[in-house]
A and B are shown apart, each in its own frame.
Chain A
Amino acid sequence: MSARTVIEQQIRLVAEEQGKALAPLCDDLVLLDSGLDSLCFAILVSRLEEELSVDPFLDADDGAFPETLVQFVAFYDRLLV
């Protein structure tokens, strides 16, 4: 399964668990406009760390923060290739 698939699956799951209405998951979706709040993102990143065995936020020295979905996926992809 690609990182994108896992990430989208987890985004949908977290949104459902937390009762959030999710915007369509297109590339340019600004994460803050996705319907997920900080807690959702926190849960998402922890779940992805379990699923993908990487945490690109903690591994990144520069601490860069992705703004859009496509950037978010790329953030994980660069550690998974």
Chain B
Amino acid sequence: MTGSLSDASRFDAGGPSLAALVSSATHERPVQGSPALDDGERCIPLCAIADRVWVQAPHAALAGRNLLILTRRPLSAALALVSLDGVAARLVLAPPDLGAGHLPAVVADAAIDGVVHDGIEGDALLPGLPAHEIAMGAGQTGCRLAGSDTATQWTLFTSGTSGAPKMVVHSLAGLLHAIPMQRPAGDPRTVWGTFYDIRRYGGLQMLLRALTGGYAMQLTAPGERMAGFLERLALAGATHISGTPSHWRRALMHPEVSRLSPRYVRLSGEIADQALLSYLASVFPNAGVFHAYASTEAGVGFEVSDGLEGFPAEFLDRPGHVEMRARNGSLQIRSPRTAWFYLGDEPPKLRDEQGFVDTGDLIEKRGDRFYFIGRASGVINVGGLKVHPEEVEAVINRCPGVRMAKVMARRNPVLGAVVAAEVVLLDPADGEGDAGRALRAAILDRCRVELAAHKAPATLKFVASLAITAGGKQERRNA
């Protein structure tokens, strides 16, 4: 039940606990001011985060336990992570959109024996499990948990799909591997900010950069609007800001963005296109604009610093910490940053025999660069939310008058992609004129009723036929 046995049994945390690293960064290499984690409601200095225990529970209830961190606020999850790394056997970091319906399976698959929460009904959601509250008030002083040398398994969720989200186990050393531990020369003032939620891989990377560097960071608050967060970033003088291309596109539509003056702008999590990279460079002339490739399973692959979309061809098939290759067009990565294994009953193997993780991201070589062209599985990424085409096709195919539907990604400047549908009707004449318009509206209405908003097609057109592969499957080419 604890994942691939060989990888699970070899699991090694390697290195000091997160609290020790934060403590070292704040006490031995202090930066100017009093760097803090700030979510607009609470602002907690890093030195207090490192030195206190923020989870109210006896040591025995935490040490060696498998704990589910289920919080309303990203900030309280951060406090729990620092307090519990090196103490708990396994930390499972619940993302904000983890449906309550998935909790029983999470508890079973991760062998959870306690819930760490910040006042949400953690104990009500999971009756029978001990619930430990994160004390946002102050934290307990002078009682740093002794014997903090457990090799804690950091468990993250892959971004949700139609089925149950998968749990992926990382070590802290692996999560930190891509983070420079040396401060830059002169150690200029640094304030991190991220549009990501830190309970997902991309956001967690940024949190760990701030914590282990001893830097201030602005975190999002639950339900916070983009305008408010941008204003906080501006007031805090954020120097390092990260988000997905969709986050940035949304931010760039807001006048507040002109008040930002970052030195470092980072994009990851989706394909960064040239128009967006160029525009960010023009809006932030004093910033380096970087796009990174990372995934929950494969970890941080690489960062591209030349301001161009795609990545240089020489990144592939070269020796180093991060080795990358293309197999059947899909990017595969072997590095100390990849996750160790999946949790769950008969989990799929995360790494192949040679230690490579198949990212499922398709790449194509044009000239001396590789470009990302979509997902091998055909999954459509709508602003970071995944859509299985088959799920949408099933709804359309159930509509009266429809022979068959094909659903695909359509490139979109706002969300990276939206869902587009092509539909073959039983009688092509039904698709013409006013009746055709009414039929199209009826199909789309039904999709919006039966599917989440991002899954309903943005566009739908009637076609005479659909391409089928030799294997009898629908061709999955992105629009």
Residues on A close to B: CB < 8 A?
17-18, 30-32, 38-39, 41-43, 45-47, 50, 55, 57-58, 60-67
Contact = CB atoms under 8 A, between A and B. Distances in A.
A45 B226 contact: no
18 contacts: A17-B445, A18-B453, A32-B227, A38-B250, A38-B383, A39-B382, A39-B415, A42-B383, A42-B412, A46-B410, A46-B420, A50-B461, A61-B274, A62-B282, A63-B275, A63-B278, A64-B279, A67-B253
Interface string B67-90: 000000000000000000000000
Interface in B309-340: none
B448 A45 contact: no
Contacts of B263: none
Interface in B252-282: 252-255, 273-279, 282
Contacts of B414: 38, 41-42, 45, 57
B277 to A, nearest CB: 8
B411 interface: yes
Contacts of A42: 382-383, 412, 414-415, 418, 458
Residue in A42, A57, A61 with the greatest tally of chain B CB atoms within 10 Å:
A42
B276 A63 contact: yes
Contacts, number: 78
Interface residues of B, number: 35
A31 B253 contact: yes
Residue in B226, B246, B255, B413 with the greatest tally of chain A CB atoms within 10 Å:
B413
Contact of A39 (B226, B383, B444): B383
Contacts of B140: none
A50 B459 contact: yes
Say whether chain B's binding surface is mostly helix, strand, loop, or mixed: helix
A32 B253 contact: yes
Interface of B: 226-227, 246, 249-250, 252-255, 273-279, 282, 382-383, 410-415, 418, 420, 444-445, 448, 453-454, 458-459, 461
B249 A65 contact: yes
B478 to A, nearest CB: 13
Given A42-B383, A46-B420, A57 B254 contact: no
Nearest to B254: A32
A6 to B, nearest CB: 15
Say whether chain A's binding surface is mostly helix, strand, loop, or mixed: helix
Nearest to A64: B279
A40 to B, nearest CB: 9
Nearest to A49: B459
Contacts of A60: 275
A17 B456 CA distance: 11
Contacts of B246: 38
Contacts of B453: 18, 39
A64 to B, nearest CB: 6
The 6 closest A-B pairs by CB, nearest first: A63-B275, A57-B413, A63-B279, A42-B414, A43-B458, A42-B415
B459 A46 contact: yes
B449 to A, nearest CB: 11
Given A39-B383, A45-B414, A17 B448 contact: yes
Contact of A62 (B275, B382, B413, B458): B275
Contacts of B418: 42-43, 46
Contacts of A55: 413
